[in-house]
Chain A
């Protein structure tokens, strides 16, 4: 089973195909122009597909970077934390 971080990177690759894999861990709304509100919702849906849980839409404003999302996913992911 790939690590949570790798699975999250895969989600980012689907939503932001223009990003290099190496850039993804540093990605945030501030440095990715394509990361607008529409992309944010799409990202949530793709993460839900990948991990099989439902994310709280009200948490969206807080999920503005890869790092923040990874932390959020780890709180929802029932698997033991093998994130980093």
Chain B
């Protein structure tokens, strides 16, 4: 992006009542960084106005302190050496003697400790992203620049330690190695601009760093599933021709790229990504190949496995149905461009990637691209059980149009746990809210700061729902957030994972709300989105829901329409629930 494009993006930003406010803390003139940061964030949030406000020149710590007064801050920090000690930058003029370097090391350590002390509490209430020094230190050490001097090593170690502690505190830190691929260190610093204007970053570096900071402030939604071909993709060779022992993924047969691809898929699978196979092959031979001891992606990590001679677009359809996720959350990888085109023609929105069998440079780019598409900041307990629960859902799911058997539900031994403590729920609820499409009341997405602000309102009612049955553990599968007003609960956000459909959990949620808060009615802030058909269908069965208006469900109406529920429920309540639950109806009840 160049500065003209950035300004045009900013100029065309929508003006609305809910701007996305970001504070930029840095010790230099923020101009270009601010412009690019605003543009990248604006591009990531096209429906909201982005406002990036810089702090005062030269006072990074003061800007951070000022920001800590904010209820739920979004804070971007671009830290440079001069923020640790002015003498480490180029704009301070100082005589260097033998005592200076030890003094610098001590002050830098103190500066980092001080900054961390201010940031740690801030990270609990807002989203903080940080880049540690990206520019060279002024040439102050006694060694020539090919040597890493001990003092420089100590300074770098102090920064690494600071990064580690910051990450532990929940702060997102820019990965310097990734940044270096976009912005090589030799092109980052502009001495003239620094000395004349106080802008140390070259335009290209400001652009790259802003891109990294924006990505951390508002990460892309990770993809959920990957569908892979087998021959010349998962392994080298055509298994139908050379047999199960004749395909390779090792160094000896110059097939290491396939081995790395298998390793990546296995690792993604353990991180909760769904892996499916779509291959035109003989299923028996494929099964033999997967039984080899040296296979890195084991068949247990794959579901479903579509191996036959029919069109791959059909295989993709069946896999998507089994996973019950939308096509834009999936990547299809195949070495054959014709297969990719056939799938893309039928499944609009699917990302298709060609596996470059013999082009190692392109192969590396594919591996890195896949890692980025599926990258998530933290792994949750739900990630570990996703595959198992999808398999279980396969057993559970009634065929379309077919009624679920009461007997089947009775014998499911289902347990639904409700927890109303946002502070204990971790980051999973927000993740669920921001990625769920089908059972989503209105499609409203939140930033971390906005979510925390909503959940900390005194009238807020928050429920996170955990589910398990004899088929397996689904984990946290539903989140509900609303506001209590006397005898009515106004629900602003309600999502449920598609893995949990068909178990009447949604009815159990509503029943629990009526009982728990002793309310007469629930109002839903229902908005039709492109993808929330399943939610709307459910709401229509409950009430005469009018899209775009508030839909109201009374206690009496719910009693009429609620089917029998067989779940065992458990509840974990916060101490504030009693205070919330003192409406007039609670006395009657």
Contacts and interface: CB of A to CB of B under 8 A. Distances in A.
Given A42-B35, A57-B193, A17 B3 contact: no
A19 interface: no
Interface residues of A, number: 14
A49 B3 contact: yes
Interface in B156-203: 192-193, 196-197, 199, 203
A17 B197 contact: no
Contacts of B193: 57
A57 B3 CA distance: 16
A45 interface: yes
A58 B4 CA distance: 22
A36 B392 CA distance: 64
B173 to A, nearest CB: 28
Interface string B7-50: 11001000000000000000001011001000000000000000
Nearest to A44: B3
Nearest to A15: B7
Contacts of A15: 7
B98 interface: no
A45 B204 CA distance: 12
Contacts of A14: 4, 7-8, 11
B97 to A, nearest CB: 33
B197 A42 contact: no
B7 A42 contact: yes
Contacts of B197: 41, 57
A58 B32 contact: no
A17 B9 CA distance: 13
A6 interface: no
A32 B348 CA distance: 49
Contacts of A11: 4
A38 B4 contact: no
Specify the main secondary structure of chain B where it touches its partner: helix
Specify the main secondary structure of chain A where it touches its partner: helix
A52 to B, nearest CB: 11
A46 B8 CA distance: 11
B2 interface: yes
Contact of A41 (B4, B8, B192, B199): B199
B196 A42 contact: no
Contacts, number: 33
B48 to A, nearest CB: 20
A50 B3 CA distance: 10
Contact of B7 (A38, A41, A46, A58): A46
Interface in A3-54: 11, 14-15, 17, 38, 41-42, 45-46, 49-50
Contacts of B11: 14, 17
B4 A46 contact: yes
Given A49-B3, A49-B4, A42 B192 contact: no
A13 B473 CA distance: 59
Interface residues of B, number: 16
Nearest to A40: B197
A42 B29 CA distance: 12
A58 B192 CA distance: 9
A69 to B, nearest CB: 16
A41 B193 CA distance: 10
A56 to B, nearest CB: 9
Contacts of A49: 2-4
A12 to B, nearest CB: 12
A17 B11 CA distance: 8
A59 B261 CA distance: 54
Contacts of B7: 14-15, 42, 46
A57 B196 contact: yes
A21 B481 CA distance: 50
Contacts of B8: 14
A32 to B, nearest CB: 16
A50 B5 CA distance: 11
B207 to A, nearest CB: 11
Contacts of A46: 3-4, 7
A58 B196 contact: yes
Interface in B191-229: 192-193, 196-197, 199, 203
A45 B192 contact: no
A17 B2 CA distance: 18
Contacts of B31: 38, 41-42
Contacts of A42: 3, 7, 31, 35
Which residue of B4, B29, B35 has the most chain A CB atoms within 10 A of its CB atom? B4
B192 A50 contact: no
A46 B196 CA distance: 19
Which residue of B3, B31, B32, B192 has the most chain A CB atoms within 10 A of its CB atom? B3
B32 A45 contact: yes
Given A14-B4, A17-B11, A45 B199 contact: no
B316 to A, nearest CB: 43
Contacts of B192: 57
A24 to B, nearest CB: 16
Interface in A67-81: none
A34 to B, nearest CB: 13
9 shortest interchain CB distances as A-B pairs: A45-B3, A49-B4, A49-B2, A46-B4, A57-B196, A14-B7, A38-B31, A17-B11, A14-B4
21 contacts: A11-B4, A14-B7, A14-B11, A15-B7, A41-B31, A41-B197, A41-B199, A42-B3, A42-B31, A45-B3, A45-B4, A45-B32, A45-B203, A46-B3, A46-B4, A46-B7, A49-B2, A49-B3, A49-B4, A57-B192, A57-B197
Given A15-B7, A17-B11, A57-B197, 8 more contacts: A38-B31, A42-B7, A42-B35, A45-B203, A46-B7, A49-B3, A50-B4, A57-B193
Interface of A: 11, 14-15, 17, 38, 41-42, 45-46, 49-50, 57-58, 60
